[in-house]
Structure 1
Amino acid sequence: MRSGVAEFVRRVTARNRLPLDYSVASLRVVDRVVDGLRSATTDSRSVSAELFWLGAYTGEVLVRRAGAVWVDFDAEQRKLFGQPTGVRMPDGRIWNPIGKVAKRFEMGREESVQRMYLLLHGRGRAAVA
């Protein structure tokens, strides 16, 4: 995931000058980009690749800032989350950042990836600073 996210960030920051710097503050940018996609279309299939990579970017922020690690979901988790991969926090909890971005698209402002991070249980102590 890490290399795919890096390529996505390189591509969108070069073209759109988005401040995707893997900071917690950049998750607000993710929320805003999803809102922009949502205002342009109601068909999530037409923006599914963008939503996937924005969710993967969100997961990479969790990896870099909260001590998470990428995990491939097992069959039961894939069925539950509707995604192939997610992150495991230092306390063992599994989170679905790709699905969270999809929910932001579906539900709007009541879902927020930045708020998810700020309320996140199980962050590593060293990564919180």
Structure 2
Amino acid sequence: MNRTERPARPSAAARPVRWAAEAVAAVPEGMRPRLDHSAQSLWRVDRLIEDLRREGTPYAAVEGLLRGLGAYAGEVIVRRTGAEWWSSGGDHWVRTPDGRLWEPLDEARRCHAGHGSLRLLCRDAMGRGL
């Protein structure tokens, strides 16, 4: 492999990567440049989900967006730690190099219910403060 080639990502990453890209495309235009896969961008994602919850947006109306925002958070972990996406039976997790499994898609659902934080999940998965 030459220096410009990147190793192939596991097939388990295909869907979450697509969902994350779709979610970024769906957020307000002014927010898109700030979703740069940095740990700091997760503050904005948590705030967006909190706004949807406060507005009373039903889960069914934002289910796809929440899945995508969870996938975006998972991609932050993958890109920052060398983690990998894993999947089984339609569920997707991120496995960090220390062997722990994280569920950012489920965490996005918990955020919408008022019981979670993608920023804090990623902070814990990355083992350092955001």
With normalisation by structure 2, the TM-score equals: 0.74
Displacement of 1:4: 3.7
Corresponding position: 1:115 with 2:112 = no
Partner residue, 2:74: 59
Q: Distance in 1 between matches of 2:23 and 2:121?
A: 22
Q: Distance in 2 between matches of 1:38 and 1:4?
A: 20
Count of residue pairs the alignment pairs up: 111
Instruction: Check whether the contact 2:26–2:65 (CA below 8 A) recurs between aligned residues.
Output: no
The runs of 5 or more residues in structure 1 that have no matched partner are 79-83
The runs of 5 or more residues in structure 2 that have no matched partner are 1-15
- Equivalent of residue 101 in structure 1, options 108, 118, 129: 108
Aligned-residue CA RMSD (Å)? 2.2
Which stretches of structure 1, 4 residues or more, deviate above 6 A after TM superposition? Answer: none
Partner residue, 1:44: 59
Q: Distance in 2 between matches of 1:114 and 1:5?
A: 15
Structure 1 pair 7–107 and aligned structure 2 pair: CA distance change class (3 A):
closer
Q: Distance in 2 between matches of 1:12 and 1:43?
A: 17
Report the AA paired with residue 99 of structure 2: G
Cα offsets for 1:4-57 (capped at 9, x unmatched): 423432x236x4221100000001111001011112225211110111100010
Report the AA paired with residue 46 of structure 1: A
Q: Secondary structure at the match of 1:22?
A: coil
With normalisation by structure 1, the TM-score equals: 0.75
Partner residue, 1:92: 99
Q: Secondary structure at the match of 1:16?
A: coil
Corresponding position: 1:12 with 2:19 = no
Sequence identity percentage: 34
